[in-house]
Amino acid sequence: MKPPKEYLVFPLDVPTIDAAKDYIERLAEAVGMFKVGLELFTKAGPEIITFIKTATKAKIFLDLKLHDIPATVQRTMAVIAGMGVDLVTVHCADSRAMLTAAVEGAGGRVGVLGVTVLTSIAAPDLQAAGYRDEFAEDIKRLVLKRATLALETGCTGIVCSGLEVGSLKKQLGNRLIAVTPGIRPAWQSAGSDDQKRVVTPVRAIQDGADYLVIGRPIRDAADPAAAAAKILEEIGASLKG
């Protein structure tokens, strides 16, 4: 069983390079992986990847959620694979061909994660988007369908909420790693942000999550390092239980 730190993914959802570097330096010893998303990567580009690699021993999760025609995704993934990151995301909401192209472009040099259903999405959103009731009213069914597609096309893992990870692990076993955003520690309420499908670290790990993406509870704390340490205690307790 891996140590608590290796479960914790901190998303660098900040608008400036300096802010990102500050969090990286403050959390280098508490976080097993840093996530670089669209906002920061658009601002900083590969420079921030290089900084993480030189300043820490943490893994790097490039969360770009690629979604385009297969040829474009394949070429883009080949470029990303040369950056030395560990994981990168691509949407599962399109075709089998796109996911296959992503895996081919990665060439085994970076793990491809299929994004199933964003944690900001709820049933009314799917209904408004025109999904059939069987999927709009049962998000777990839609997540399973997309996760199965990710597995069949050779993806390393999937991104799903903690509400679905348990059923996915029962259906698909450990053939895919599961990265779960929308995690809120037991000592913090869900609040009023855009995450709708949230669970605690304990619940997610007990259900089989391999990585927990935890941002706001750490980023918004007066002492981010102390907040991360408190979360690691919560994770550690769940592993012992």
- As a three-state string, the secondary structure of the chain is CCCHHHHEEEECCCCCHHHHHHHHHHHCCCCCEEEEEHHHHHHHCHHHHHHHHHHCCCEEEEEEEECCCHHHHHHHHHHHHCCCCCEEEEECCCCHHHHHHHHHHHCCCCEEEEECCCCCCCHHHHHHCCCCHHHHCCHHHHHHHHHHHHHHCCCCEEECCHHHHHHHHHHHCCCCEEEECCECCCCCCCCCCCCCCCECHHHHHHCCCCEEECCHHHHCCCCHHHHHHHHHHHHHHHHHC
Whole-number Å distance between alpha carbons of 204 and 162: 5
The phi, psi pair for 45, rounded to 5°, reads 65, -155
For residue 178, how many other CB atoms are within 10 A of its CB?
A: 27
Residue type, 91: H
Q: Residues 109, 139: contact at Cβ < 8 Å?
A: no
Q: Is residue 65 annotated as a catalytic residue, yes or no?
A: yes
Choosing from 5, 43, 53, 65, the catalytic residue is 65
Task: Give catalytic residues, as residue numbers.
Answer: 65
